[in-house]
């Protein structure tokens, strides 16, 4: 086995290099190796100064997060950092690529720090449900002050080397080659006594304001505020007591379900693109065509332009094309304001509009975003088939329609795929990659490569009504609507669902999407509805009353005075009148029951989606709900949540609900099998460490 930490003495400099691909995570072997190397440096009479650095593309990516939840094997990371700091001879960190979490904490234990331009320096632990647990909450405030440390740790946001240098987090920004820059700096440190962060003055100040703001920003989460409490422990005079308090709080957080949920989400984000059985080479994509420049088309074009792709957008007529161009322009302006696009790139984007499909003749991939109507889509695909070059990919952004049927309108169905973006398409991270049976593997691989290029999370979905996300949404949305018919107020439902951790409840989401969308879907599905399917007639009545949601100023909420929407007694009247007209006797629902029904409906439908192969694995469902539907990340996703909550409990709930409505509530076979065998959805994720 190769050693993950090497020690080379060269002209009085001890080079201590960590090489543990891919990210030099500080697993047990690395910690033991670092500890041994520091001891060797101390004993090595020929070594005057030590340089700690990372081999490969970065310094250190942090603690090995696959070890969390397992017993800690000595030496612990705090002990290693303390040993580095205690060195009687000077130790410096030479940082490139990234120093994150425990990786940055190792650097803070070194006596001097140099970072190369472009390095990412951060303490992102709160995003994983923990806090910097190797001295980061104690050393950072001693270097940059309590307030700045609080902001950095509670937000988890990284800083660049220039800012870090100004703040005092590092000493120098290197120039040229990493090793040369490190050698030049190390030469100056020969013979100097160590300069220990722990010996710097005790930081003073108060973080109660930041704590309040953080609590409000991260409702429901424990790590961010706990991290601030750990930082406050640095204001006591005794450094070691501060470290002990940090360790105590860190170990508490490691044991929380939130930590498990966030780490599951971290691995899920990386696992979704590794589709079992897909190893084809993607086709080259440089020129994108977009057909239709409405809400979605303009957003998709913006997303592609922000990724540096060349875009041609085709609309029906010159006026529509001009409107689309104006929307894209406004989106790009906003991106410049937010620092997502360089002003130079804004000046002359590789973008043009056209009203003739021939403008797409050199396109590598065309994405259709016209009206949601099978006949219109098939017409558009036949037209695309006629003009696109051989080998070009044809994609549809349809929300519900059968992608295979659309593909059949062309003479090259193997080149057709669904690319289901979410609104606003240049902001939302999720991209469902909808793969009909006949699609070529390299077309699917290209779609995943495109998702990555666009900075999105691509998730493979099979063909069915609504694919993964909208199909599951229909199920939990129906559970919500049934509760409203039976006596829950839409506002009570929204409050309960926000209480669970969603940023918005289902009726707030309706207002955002527009009540016309839901109405159109109900009308489309009406012919196939059976006698037991309940229609949310109150939603139809709101629609007919012109309460279409935010865009109309009124929907479930009233937006006239309050941008976020005020509760409106008129809605209560419509809901109550609906119940009276349908002869329904309302009953009470408390928040627990609302959540139980909503989640049972979600998990049950998700189990069907997995069993039918619409989602390849449970983790694909988790990624869809996390990135497209506001599922609270710290709960890991619905499948992870279900495993934690207990599948047998969910089955028992569904059986109880079925006593009153056996049509709506039927336990999905996969859910029942797992519950009865003591299994978990996680068992079906081939590679999932959480
Ligand atoms: N531990 C274990 N595995 C890790 C890891 C870590 N800290 N960080 C990344 N990996 C794995 C990924 O899961 C992935 O595995 P895979 O190839 O099997 O899917 C592989 O390394 C490559 O990761 P990415 O695909 O993310 O590679 P990128 O080049 O895109 O990004 C990175 C590199 C910026 C380092 C990114 O991986 C990252 O942000 N990692 C997490 C950093 C972090 O949060 N560190 C703090 C850890 S907690 C801590 O340090 C606690 C301490 O305070 C005690
Ligand atoms: P939209 O109505 O805002 O835009 C459609 C655009 O297509 C219009 O500008 C229209 O002029 C243009 N168009 C129609 N026929 C055309 C043709 N033959 N050639 C060129 N342009 C043509 O609709 P929206 O909301 O952008 O939806 C587009 C598609 O995206 C639909 O399939 C929809 O289901 C899907 N979708 C919508 C989402 C949303 O939140 N609005 C989310 C995800 C998918």
- Taking only the tens place, the pLDDT of each residue in 12-34 is 999 999 999 999 999 999 999 99
Residue environment code for 409-430, b if the CB has 16+ CB neighbours within 10 A, otherwise e: bbebbebbbbbbbbeebbebbb
Backbone region of residue 159 per phi and psi (left: phi > 0; alpha: psi in -120 to 50; beta: other values): beta
Instruction: Name the residue with the closest Cα to ligand 2, atom 4.
Output: 294
- Region 620-637: what's the mean pLDDT? 98
Ligand nearest to the CA of 469: 2
- Sequence ranges of the domains in the chain: 5-255, 289-461, 469-585+592-689
Same fold: 5-255 with 469-585+592-689: no
What is the pLDDT of the chain when averaged over all its residues?
A: 96
Q: ∠340-343-345 over CA atoms, to 5°?
A: 85
Q: Would you say the CB of residue 370 lies under 6 angstroms from ligand 2?
A: yes
Q: Which ligand ends up closest to the CA of 80?
A: 1
CB-ligand 2 contact for 291 (6 Å cutoff): yes
What's the CA gap between 532 and 73, in Å, rounded?
A: 58
Q: Which of 583, 553, 575 shows the shortest CA–CA distance to 565? A: 553
Prediction pTM value: 0.95
**Statement: residue 299 has pLDDT above 50:** yes
Is the separation of the CB atoms in 623 and 670 below 8 Å?
no
**Annotation marks residue 125 as catalytic:** yes
Banded pLDDT at 689 (limits 50, 70, 90): very low
Secondary-structure percent of the chain, ordered helix, strand, coil, rounded to 5: 50, 10, 35
CA of residue 171 to ligand 2 center, whole Å: 53
Q: How many CB atoms lie within 10 A of CB 539?
A: 25
- How far is the C-alpha of 118 from the C-alpha of 361, rounded, in Å? 39
Out of 3.40.50.2000, 3.40.50.920, 3.40.462.40, 1.10.1040.50, the CATH code matching 469-585+592-689 is 1.10.1040.50
Euclidean distance between CA atoms 485 and 492, whole angstroms: 13
Residue 690 has pLDDT above 50, yes or no: no
Give the mean model confidence (pLDDT) for residues 334-348: 92
CB within 8 Å of 340: residues ≥ 6 apart: 306
270 lines ligand 1 (CB under 6 A): yes
24, 28, 29, 9: which is closest to 59 by C-alpha? Answer: 24
Cα of 513 vs centre of ligand 2, distance in Å, is 14
Q: Report pLDDT for 345.
A: 87
Task: Tell how far the Cα of 638 is from the centroid of ligand 2, in angstroms.
Answer: 30
Catalytic residue among 48, 85, 105, 605: 105
Give yes or no for residue 688 having a pLDDT over 50: no
- At how many degrees (to 10) do helices 618-628 and 638-645 cross? 120
Please name every residue paired with 504 in a beta bridge, in sequence order, or none if there are none.
Answer: none
Q: Which of 18, 23, 56, 57 to mutate to test the pocket of ligand 1 (most atoms within 8 A of CB)?
A: 23
Helix (H) or strand (E) holding 447: helix 441-453
Residue showing tokens 């360089």? 342
> Is position 105 annotated as part of the catalytic site?
yes
Contact indicator for 565, 558 with CB cutoff of 8 Å: yes
How many other CB atoms sit within 10 Å of the CB of residue 127? 20
Q: State how far the Cα of 199 lies from the Cα of 546, in Å rounded to an integer.
A: 67
Q: What is the CATH number of domain 5-255?
A: 3.90.226.10
Q: Is 71 in the pocket of ligand 1 (CB under 6 A)?
A: no
Closest by Cα among 552, 483, 481 to 513: 552
Q: How confident is the model at residue 442 (pLDDT cuts 50, 70, 90)?
A: very high
Mean pLDDT for the stretch of residues 400-408: 96
Cis before 463 (ω within 30): no
For residue 455, give the 3-state DSSP assignment: coil
pLDDT digits (tens, 9 = 90+) for 246-263: 999 999 999 999 999 999
Please choose, from the candidates 265, 316, 317, 309, the residue with its C-alpha nearest in 3D space to the C-alpha of residue 287. 309
Percent of the chain at pLDDT above 90? Answer: 96
Q: In this structure, are residues 384 and 360 in contact, taking their beta carbons and an 8 Å threshold? A: yes
CATH number of the structural domain 289-461 = 3.40.50.720
Q: Please report the pLDDT score of residue 1 as a whole number.
A: 59
Active-site pick, 48, 125, 246, 368: 125
Angle between helix 136-144 and helix 102-109 axes, rounded to 10 deg: 60
368 Cα nearest atom in ligand 2 = 29
Calculate mean pLDDT across residues 194-223.
96
Calculate the dihedral angle through the C-alpha atoms of 130, 26, 29, 110, rounding to the nearest 10 degrees: -120
Residue 20 CA to ligand 2 centre (angstroms): 48
Q: Is 100 in the pocket of ligand 1 (CB under 6 A)?
A: yes
Residues above pLDDT 70, as percent of the chain: 99
558 - beta bridge partners?
A: 554, 566
- pLDDT interval class at 274 (50, 70, 90): very high
> 398: CA distance to ligand 2 center in Å?
9
| Per-residue model confidence (pLDDT) at position 2 | 77
Q: Is 316 in the pocket of ligand 2 (CB under 6 A)?
A: yes
Name 666's bridge partners.
Answer: none
Tell me how far the alpha carbon of residue 17 is from its chain's centroid: 32
The dihedral through the CA atoms of 332, 333, 336, 338 has a sign that is negative
pLDDT at 63 over 50: yes
CA distances in angstroms from 146 to 152, 169, 248, listed in the order given? 10, 12, 20
Residue-wise pLDDT tens digits, 511-549: 999 999 999 989 988 999 998 999 999 999 999 999 999
CA of 412 to the centre of ligand 2 (A): 23
Measured distance CA(156)–CA(126) in Å, rounded: 6
Ligand nearest to the CA of 99: 1
Residue 687 has pLDDT above 80, yes or no: no
Q: Which residues contact 206 (CB under 8 A, 6 or more apart)?
A: 146
Q: What is the mean pLDDT of residues 281-297?
A: 97
C-beta of 660 in contact with ligand 2 (< 6 A): no
- How far is ligand 1, taken at its centre, from the CA of residue 101, in Å? 10
DSSP bridge pairs for 420: 432
Q: Is 27 in the pocket of ligand 2 (CB under 6 A)?
A: no
Q: How far is CA 194 from CA 88, 107, 183, in A?
A: 6, 14, 17
pLDDT band at 216; cut points 50, 70, 90: very high
Q: Are 423 and 450 in contact (CB under 8 A)?
A: no
Of 319, 322, 328, 318, which is closest to residue 297 (Cα–Cα)? 328
Whether the bond into 546 is cis, omega within 30 of 0: no
**Ligand 2 neighbourhood includes 604 CB (under 6 angstroms):** no
């Amino acid at each position: 086995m190769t050693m993950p930490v090497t020690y080379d003495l060269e002209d009085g400099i001890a080079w201590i290099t960590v090489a543990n691909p891919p990210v030099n995570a500080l697993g047990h072997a690395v910690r033991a190796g670092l500890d041994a190397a520091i001891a060797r440096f101390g004993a090595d009479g020929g070594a005057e100064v030590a340089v700690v650095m990372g081999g490969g593309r970065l310094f250190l990516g942090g603690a090995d997060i696959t070890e969390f939840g397992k017993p800690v094997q000595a030496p612990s990371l705090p002990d290693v950092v303390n040993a580095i700091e205690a060195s009687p001879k000077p130790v410096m960190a030479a940082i490139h690529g990234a120093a994150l979490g425990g990786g940055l904490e190792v650097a803070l234990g070194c006596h001097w720090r140099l970072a190369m331009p472009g390095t990412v320096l951060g303490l992102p632990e709160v995003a994983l449900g923990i806090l910097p647990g190797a001295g980061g909450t104690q050393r950072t405030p001693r270097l940059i002050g309590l307030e700045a440390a609080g902001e950095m740790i509670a937000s988890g946001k990284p800083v660049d080397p220039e800012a870090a240098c100004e703040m005092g987090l590092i000493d120098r920004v290197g120039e040229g080659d990493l090793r040369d820059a490190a050698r030049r700096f190390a030469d100056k440190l020969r013979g100097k006594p160590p300069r220990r962060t722990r010996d710097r003055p005790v930081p003073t100040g108060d973080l109660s304001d930041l704590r309040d703001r953080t609590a409000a920003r991260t409702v429901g989460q424990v790590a961010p505020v706990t991290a601030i409490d750990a930082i406050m422990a640095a204001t006591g005079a005794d450094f070691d007591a501060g470290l002990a308090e940090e360790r105590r709080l860190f170990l508490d957080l490691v044991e929380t379900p939130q930590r498990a949920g966030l780490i599951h989400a971290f691995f899920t984000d990386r696992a979704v693109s590794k589709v079992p059985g897909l190893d084809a080479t993607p086709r080259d994509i440089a020129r994108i065509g977009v057909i239709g420049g409405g809400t979605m088309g303009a957003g998709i074009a913006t997303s592609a332009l922000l990724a540096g792709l060349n875009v041609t957008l085709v609309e029906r007529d010159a006026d529509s094309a001009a409107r689309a161009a104006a929307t894209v322009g406004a989106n790009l302006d906003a991106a410049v304001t937010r620092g997502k696009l360089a002003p130079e790139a804004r000046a002359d984007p590789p973008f043009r509009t056209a009203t003739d499909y021939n403008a797409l003749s050199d396109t590598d991939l065309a994405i259709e975003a016209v009206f949601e109507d099978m006949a219109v889509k098939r017409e558009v695909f036949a037209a695309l088939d006629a003009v696109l070059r051989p080998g070009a990919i044809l994609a549809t952004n349809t929300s519900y329609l059968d992608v295979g049927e659309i593909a059949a309108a062309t003479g090259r169905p193997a080149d057709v795929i669904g690319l289901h973006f979410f609104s606003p398409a240049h902001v939302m991270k999720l991209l469902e990659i909808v793969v009909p049976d006949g699609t070529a593997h390299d077309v699917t691989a290209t779609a995943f490569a495109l998702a990555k290029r666009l900075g999105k999370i691509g998730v493979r979905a099979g063909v069915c009504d609504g694919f993964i996300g909208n199909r599951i949404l229909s199920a939990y949305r129906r559970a919500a609507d049934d509760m409203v018919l039976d006596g829950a107020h839409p506002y009570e439902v929204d409050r309960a669902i926000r209480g669970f951790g969603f940023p918005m409840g289902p009726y707030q989401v309706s207002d955002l999407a527009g009540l016309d969308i839901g109405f159109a879907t109900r009308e489309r599905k009406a012919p196939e509805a059976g006698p037991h399917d309940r229609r949310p007639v109150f939603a139809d009545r709101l629609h007919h009353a012109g309460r279409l949601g935010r865009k109309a100023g009124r929907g479930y909420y009233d937006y006239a005075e309050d941008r976020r929407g005020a509760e409106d007694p008129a809605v209560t009247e419509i809901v109550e009148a609906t119940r009276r007209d349908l002869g329904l006797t309302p009953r009470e629902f408390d928040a627990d029951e609302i959540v139980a029904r909503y989640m049972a409906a979600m998990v049950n439908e998700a189990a069907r989606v997995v069993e039918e192969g619409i989602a390849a694995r449970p983790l694909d469902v988790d990624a869809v709900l996390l990135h497209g539907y506001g599922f609270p990340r710290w709960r890991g996703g619905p499948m992870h949540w279900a495993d934690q909550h207990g599948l047998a409990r969910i089955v028992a709930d569904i059986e109880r609900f079925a006593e009153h409505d056996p049509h709506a509530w039927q336990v999905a076979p996969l859910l029942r099998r797992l519950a009865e065998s003591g299994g978990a959805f996680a068992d079906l994720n081939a590679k999932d460490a959480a």
